[in-house]
């Protein structure tokens, strides 16, 4: 058996309040056609399990595949609300709710929440540009007629 | 009118019935039939009414997921007759999702008019998911949408 070890760090995504995080979920499925519940959450993986902070779910229709595994791809969106604090190293979790033990997966330290872009940071940016333009005006005075 | 007894007629074992005491939780699978037996008293002219049963979720109103009904012929009687009748509800998991805590009730209808409605039996039914297998369930990507 060959084991593959990835030396690449998992991709970290930085989000603000109001952003949406889209997860792509892939799996093989064997069984009857049925509608199940895809569930995903952002939170913290700890000693007592996964502490969910923002969780979402949606129904997914799985195809009839009685004999062989069919590859399924689903996506689910998590809206970033102020329920989550600014911080780094948040974890992701996803599962099929009705088959938790077979499906629950987690990815650690892949979400940083920067927080909402504040009004002050916008004002500061405008002020900085204005000050630079004023300084350039003094260094390079316009030609007088 | 009161729900007196609950049975499950398993799809897997035709001709057999599983009896449950009220207050226990019934576990059903796709293709099974839930038989709701109601007790009531009747006095009046000979009449054909509809015994109607529903499984769903009681919220502000009862969200019916699966229903069943049958015609009941009642004899003319000047004194109260105590009767019991049953209605069958076939479980179809394309209409009701696998999950716990489903509620049920029954009622007697005259045409489209509800004559008498039973109290709701709460959290009495669990719908089991069909056998299914998953392979390599993973969060394959995550990104800002």
Q: What is the ipTM of this complex?
A: 0.74
* Residue B134 forms part of a structural domain: no
Domain count, chain B: 1
Length of chain B, please?
145
What are the residue boundaries of the structural domains of chain A, listed by start?
Answer: 13-116
B contact test, residue of A16, A17, A26 with most B CBs within 10 A: A26
Contacts of B141 in chain A (CB under 8 A): 11, 23-24
CATH superfamily to which A13-116 belongs: Immunoglobulins (2.60.40.10)
Q: How many CB atoms lie within 10 A of CB A58?
A: 12
Tokens found for residue A113:
């929440």
Predicted local confidence at residue A1, as pLDDT: 41
CATH code of the domain covering residue B30: 2.60.40
Order the strands of the B33-44 sheet from edge to edge: B18-20, B2-9, B33-44, B77-90
Structural domain containing residue B56: 2-127
Chain segment A13-46, per-residue pLDDT in tens: 999 999 999 999 999 998 888 889 999 999 999 8
Q: Which residues pair with A96 in a beta bridge?
A: A38
Q: Which residue has the higher pLDDT, A120 or B42?
A: B42
Is residue B137 scored above 80 in pLDDT?
yes
B34 in a domain, yes or no?
Answer: yes
Full DSSP string of B81-113: EEEEEEEEEE--TTTS-SEEEEEEEEEEEETTE
* Residue B139 pLDDT grade (very low, low, confident, very high; cuts 50, 70, 90): very high
- Closest partner CB to A36 (pick from B129, B139, B145): B129
- Determine the average pLDDT of the residues in B55-77: 95
Instruction: Convert the pLDDT of each residue in A52-98 to its tens digit.
Output: 999 999 999 999 887 789 999 999 999 999 999 999 999 999 999 98
Within a domain: B143: no
Residue B120 lies in a domain: yes
Which band of pLDDT confidence, cut at 50, 70 and 90, is reported for residue A4? Answer: very low
């Amino acid at each position: 058996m060959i084991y593959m070890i990835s030396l690449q760090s998992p991709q970290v995504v930085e989000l603000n309040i109001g952003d949406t995080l889209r997860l792509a979920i892939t799996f093989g499925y064997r069984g009857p056609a049925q509608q199940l519940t895809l569930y995903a959450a952002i939170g913290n993986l700890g000693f007592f399990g996964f502490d969910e902070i923002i969780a979402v779910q949606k129904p997914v229709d799985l195809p009839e595949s009685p004999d062989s595994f069919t590859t399924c791809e689903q996506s689910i969106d998590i809206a970033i609300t102020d329920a989550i604090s600014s911080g780094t190293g948040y974890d992701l979790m996803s599962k099929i709710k009705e088959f938790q033990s077979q499906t629950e997966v987690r990815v650690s330290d892949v979400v940083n929440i920067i927080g909402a872009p504040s009004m002050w940071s916008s004002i500061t940016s405008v002020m900085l540009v204005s000050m630079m333009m004023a300084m350039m005006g003094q260094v390079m005075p316009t030609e007088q007629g | 009118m009161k729900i007196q007894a609950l049975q499950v007629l398993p799809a897997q074992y035709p001709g057999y019935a599983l009896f449950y005491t009220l207050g226990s939780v019934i576990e059903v699978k796709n293709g099974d039939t839930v038989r709701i037996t109601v007790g009531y008293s009747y006095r009046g002219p000979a009449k054909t009414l509809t015994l109607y049963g529903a499984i769903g979720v009681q919220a502000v109103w009862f969200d019916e997921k699966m229903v069943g009904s049958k015609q009941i012929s009642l004899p003319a009687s000047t004194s109260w007759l105590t009767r019991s009748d049953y209605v069958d509800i076939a479980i179809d998991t394309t209409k009701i999702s696998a999950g716990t805590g489903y509620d049920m009730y029954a009622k007697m209808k005259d045409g489209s008019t509800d004559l008498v409605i039973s109290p709701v039996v709460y959290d009495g039914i669990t719908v089991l998911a069909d056998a299914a297998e998953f392979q390599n369930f993973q969060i394959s990507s995550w990104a800002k949408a």
